[in-house]
Amino acid sequence: MDHRTEIREFLTSRRAKISPRQAGLPSYGTRRVPGLRRSEVAQLAGVSVEYYSRLERGDLAGVSDSVLDALARALRLNDEERTHLEDLARTAGSGPRRRRRSTPQQVRPTVQRMLDAMTDAPAFVMNGRGDILATNALGRALYAPMFDAARSATPNHSRFIFLDRRSHLFWGDWERAADDTVALLHAQAGRDPYDKDLTDLIGELSTRSDDFRVRWARHDVRQHHIGAKPFHHPVVGDLDLTYESMDLSADDLTLVVYGTEPGSDSEDKLRLLASWATTLHQYDHCRPMPNEQPPTASGTTNKPGDVS
């Protein structure tokens, strides 16, 4: 994950999405590649072709805010893409050039107590790489397949989605979950391109997953603060959950809390999931102990030999 390459490919991927007609420019002849030419982007941004070519080669060091504004308008960047461009420019001009290992991140006891106080809503804390660093009991129960896949390692959204087939069953919309996860990683790479743990993760996924490689090449970026996600949980079945994510700015971490629509089927199933979680004697893998069966929809526990 070279920083100059990231800049170049982000800018070229954005201009490839815009036709001359969309930009209000005349189009002559056959184009070898889709989208705008460098000269057309330069024209729209009000800079010379030579200067824009320098930027697209990956040299954003020292670029002024006014030029970034002009580029964002010319390339029709949305707010998240504009933030990503600013991050790329900021990290191009300063910071270490040697990849560095991240310091181990720990969740403060006060944050863990806050998580534990949320007994009716799944909640967890993650870092920019998608590692789940802490959960409450219901959050761990919800993400049981991910914890089971990780075993002794720290659960990671990207590794589970792209390297574990069970993720296709767990996520109600796997394609969207995969797209969103890669877009979040791209945004994090713009903020901290010298994080060796992040670089190693991207390299691992690029080597082992065609699905990841295709999505990474799109250079989409996204942040998700509110929304809805469908799940298919192995214990309670289909769940439609809303979520809110909040930055823990003091720790550079993110808190995610799930909820349901009042009176919905998913609300009943979330209560059932909470009931199942309380029956577990340990949370190492967050799954029923040997000879222990998950509760049925009525809230009772099946015994061996029972037919549900």
187 vs 82: CA distance, rounded Å: 11
Q: Which two tokens stand for residue 189?
A: 């790479």
Task: Give the model's pLDDT for residue 3.
Answer: 84
Mean pLDDT of 217-236: 92
Task: Give the model's pLDDT for residue 100.
Answer: 54
DSSP state of 26: -
pLDDT band of residue 103 (cuts 50, 70, 90) is low
Q: Which two tokens stand for residue 98?
A: 């040697």
For tokens 């007994």, name the residue: 119
Residue 280 has pLDDT above 50, yes or no: yes
Task: Give the model's pLDDT for residue 295.
Answer: 43
Mean pLDDT of 167-175: 97
Residue 281 has pLDDT above 70, yes or no: no
Task: Give the model's pLDDT for residue 99.
Answer: 52
- Side by side, the strands of the sheet bearing 237-248 are 132-135, 123-126, 253-259, 237-248, 226-233
Residue 78 has pLDDT above 80, yes or no: yes
Inter-residue contact 53 to 38 (CB < 8 Å) = yes
Residue 194 has pLDDT above 70, yes or no: yes
Task: Give the model's pLDDT for residue 283.
Answer: 45
Mean pLDDT of 161-169: 96
Residue 2 has pLDDT above 50, yes or no: yes
Residue 109 has pLDDT above 50, yes or no: yes
297 vs 235: CA distance, rounded Å: 10
118 vs 259: CA distance, rounded Å: 11
Task: Give the model's pLDDT for residue 296.
Answer: 43
Q: What is the pTM of this model?
A: 0.81
Percentage of the chain with pLDDT > 70? Answer: 86
H or E element in which residue 137 lies = helix 137-142
More confident residue, 301 or 238: 238
pLDDT band of residue 285 (cuts 50, 70, 90) is very low
Mean pLDDT of 51-71: 94
Task: Give the model's pLDDT for residue 71.
Answer: 96
Domains of the chain: 3-93 (1.10.260.40), 109-278 (3.30.450.180)
Lowest mean pLDDT among 46-60, 138-152, 212-226, 292-306: 292-306
